[in-house]
Amino acid sequence: MSSILKAKKKPFNVWDAKVLGGDESKFGLEGSFTQVIKTYSPPSRGKCEIIEGEDKEAAKKLGDILLKHEALTKR
């Protein structure tokens, strides 16, 4: 914790294209060949379905779900 507080007081070194001595046209957003055109939230997962019941019953229900799953049917 004390280190975190100390870190706050440290000076910041800013290294830009000039300091690094590179070709300025290759730095930053201007120098990037890719453009982000859109950002969005990932498709959300549905709510978690909790399998109820005693251990044995729950295990059986989960087994039935898994057996229908693509990962097991397409073996």
Partner 1 sequence: MGIEIILDKCTGCGLCVKACPFAAIKIKNKKAEIEANCTLCGSCVDVCKFDAIILERPKPSDKDLSEYEGVWIFVELREQKIKKVSLELASKAREIADTLEERVGAVIFGGKVKRLCDDIAAYGIDVIYIAENDNLREYNTNNYAGIITGLISKYKPNIVLFPATHLGRDLAPRVAAALEVGLTADCTGLSIKDCLLLQSRPAFGGNIMADIISPSARPQMATIRPNVMKIRSPDSTRKAEIISIPVDIDPKAMRIIIKEIIKTTKSGTKSLDEADIIISGGRGMGSAEKFKILEDLAETVNGVVGASRAAVDAGWRPRSDQVGQSGKTVSPKLYIACGISGKIQHQVGMKSSDTIIAINTDTEAPIFDIADCGIVGDLFEIVPLLNEELKKKLQIP
Binding site for partner 1 (CB under 8 A): 32-42, 45-46, 48-51, 55-56, 58-60, 62-63, 65-67, 69-72, 75
**Residue number, 5 or 67, with CB nearest to partner 1:** 67
- Compute how many other C-beta atoms are within 10 angstroms of the C-beta atom of residue 36: 7
Nearest approach in angstroms of CB 54 to partner 1 is 9
Give least dist CB 16 to partner 1, A. Answer: 20
| Tokens describing residue 62 | 């989960």
Q: Of 21 and 46, which has the nearer Cβ to partner 1?
A: 46
d(CA 60, CA 66): 10
Distance CA 67, CA 64 (A): 5
Question: HSE-up of 51 (CA within 13 Å, CB side)?
Answer: 13
- CB closer to partner 1 out of 9 and 30: 30
